[in-house]
Amino acid sequence: MAVVKGALLVAGTTSDAGKSVVVAGLCRLLARRGVRVAPFKAQNMSNNSVVTLDGGEIGRAQALQARACGLEPSVRFNPILLKPGSDRRSQLVVRGKAIDTVGAKDYFRHRTELRAIVAEELAALRDEFDVVICEGAGSPAEINLRATDLANMGLARAADLPVVVVGDIDRGGVLAHLFGTVAILEPEDQQLISGFIVNKFRGDVDLLKPGLDQLEALTGRPTLGVIPFAEDLWIDAEDSLGTVADAPVGRPRPPLGANWLTVAAIRLPRISNSTDVEALACEPGVSVRWVSDPSRLAGADLVVVPGSKSTVSDLEWLRRTGIADALTARAAAGGPILGICGGYQMLARTIVDPVESAAGTVAGLGLLDLEIEFDDPKVLRRSRGRVGDHAGLGGDDALPVHGYEIHHGRVTHTGDRPWFELDGLPEGSVREAIWGTHLHGALESDEFRRAWLRRVAEQAGRPEFIVADDVSVAEVRASQLDLLADLLEKHLDLDALERLITAGPLSNVPTLTVKK
């Protein structure tokens, strides 16, 4: 592919169809070829977010896509983020800052302002970069939401973007999904749909080809590639669809010693930043699984209570399911437990929350001598520091650690040892085999993670578990992006994609009609 200039929108037949990974792969592929490329997702709905250098938060998928481009994450790449706190209401984050909590109906009052913000950010990126690869949200087939759509056909129409639709064949019915996505759209939107990509194909592609030929005959639009299912590919989860109970995280590799280290990560209903546990899954001999049943905690060497967008609500769920009792019994028996952000808050003695749930004072699990109070504004910061002097990691207490914080909860009292010293201040809690922190991404600090895993293995009675001394989470993620780019380079029609990016949508494509 030669150096090109333009933009493209990657939409999907459904959520989790492969939009995020295709955008990340295209960004990586273009960047490797010397193209100045940037990602863009006008509006995202996800509780997996990161803090950017410019002091805001964006969806984690867009941060990964920025890395694929060789760029630092920026609020420019995801100007609108919705973080669901319940089935009906979400926190509205605009240019990295939370400005409101909205439901579907009162979101309408923001649409004019948000549409202008999206247009302004995309135009600025297109001026600065050769190529902007945009990612849609959900599916453009959600015609009930078309009036407020900012990320799919609303964006494509406003910026005259060619649209490629990705379908996940692993789900079944992909040809119907692709055809129906086009057919259900209004004629003006259909004119921008310029091709299809089939994702996660297994088997002989020659058996699929007749169907793709018929799809092109019916729609007038080509399939630009069939991406095979790649066993070794696992990319950061975009949202909660990537955290399925009883499913493994990553691709577990055999242990270096005689023991595995098993990790049960609790799949909370309003889980946020689920990607924190992926650093553990990079290690050979560490098997990480999402769990939602208390029986799954019994045999685990480590239990992780991850972040939550609704700490008090998810704490109530822990109690209702019996997981809270299992955690209490585990703590009494000396079994290692890690709480991160919302999960850390749940381990406290008390939580005072007039902000997120308006529940007032709520009893926590009481596993840490900790008191939490929620307040505005939300804490958003990237932090660096080291392991605390008395954190219990032996001679490794000066190890560097880095990460980011996204939370309303503040520690108002702690009687436990601090885990870290960040920017000169104590952070986190350590009590015997219970560990807690507000710091997301800490486990990506390689030296710290290794030392901490050795301590966890000791606490769990796994003396023959050996921690690898050469795993780099950053290098694992980079290799995943390169693997993805290699797949797209081999299996997509890059010349056709280049023409769409530079010349815009296909011309003279037919309009499909649906009988009324």
Question: What whole-number distance in Å separates Cα of residue 429 and Cα of residue 340?
Answer: 11
**What is the pLDDT at residue 1?**
47
Give the sheet arrangement for strand 37-40, strand by strand.
37-40, 131-135, 6-12, 163-168, 193-201, 223-228
356: pLDDT strictly greater than 90:
no
196: pLDDT strictly greater than 50:
yes
Complete domains list, the chain, with CATH: 6-222+493-503 (3.40.50.300), 243-472 (3.40.50.880)
Q: Which H/E stretch holds residue 318?
A: helix 311-321
Identify the sign of the CA torsion 86, 92, 96, 99. negative
Q: Which of 49-63, 334-348, 353-367, 392-406 has the lowest mean pLDDT?
A: 392-406
237: pLDDT confidence band, cut at 50, 70 and 90? low
- Residues 6 or more apart in contact with residue 332 via CB below 8 angstroms: none
Q: Position of tokens 């960040």?
A: 422
Q: Region 245-252: what's the mean pLDDT? A: 83
Residue 117 CB neighbour total at 10 angstroms: 18
Q: Region 500-510: what's the mean pLDDT? A: 95
Helix boundaries (H) for 322-393: 323-332, 342-346
Question: What whole-number distance in Å separates Cα of residue 19 and Cα of residue 136?
Answer: 7
- pTM for the predicted model, two decimal places: 0.92
**What is the pLDDT at residue 88?**
77
Question: What whole-number distance in Å separates Cα of residue 238 and Cα of residue 58?
Answer: 11
Selection from 278, 292, 407 nearest residue 348 by Cα: 407
> How many CA atoms within 13 Å lie on the side-chain side of 223?
25
- Altogether, the residues listed in the chain come to a count of 516
Distances (CA, A) of 254 to 50, 286, 325, 468, 475: 31, 8, 32, 11, 19
Question: What whole-number distance in Å separates Cα of residue 206 and Cα of residue 209?
Answer: 5
pLDDT above 90 as % of the chain: 82
**What is the pLDDT at residue 143?**
92
Q: Using an 8 Å Cβ cutoff, are 75 and 56 in contact?
A: yes
395: pLDDT confidence band, cut at 50, 70 and 90? low
Q: Calculate Rg over the CA atoms of the chain.
A: 23
Q: What is the DSSP string of 157-226?
A: HHHT--EEEEEEGGGS-HHHHHHHHHHTS-HHHHTTEEEEEEEEE-S-HHHHHHHHHHHHHHHS--EEEE
Distances (CA, A) of 454 to 179, 252, 440: 53, 18, 20
Question: What whole-number distance in Å separates Cα of residue 248 and Cα of residue 246?
Answer: 7
Side chain identity at 35, as an amino acid letter? V
- Residues 6 or more apart in contact with residue 434 via CB below 8 angstroms: 331, 336, 337, 339, 347, 367, 368
Question: Could you list the active site residues?
Answer: 341, 440
* Higher pLDDT among residues 250 and 351, named by residue: 351
Question: What whole-number distance in Å separates Cα of residue 507 and Cα of residue 194?
Answer: 9
Side chain identity at 152, as an amino acid letter? N
Map 382-412 to HEC letters.
Answer: EEEEEECCCCCCHHHCCCEEEEEEEEEEEEE
Across the chain, mean pLDDT equals: 93
Q: Region 200-224: what's the mean pLDDT? A: 96
135: pLDDT confidence band, cut at 50, 70 and 90? very high
Question: What whole-number distance in Å separates Cα of residue 208 and Cα of residue 212?
Answer: 6
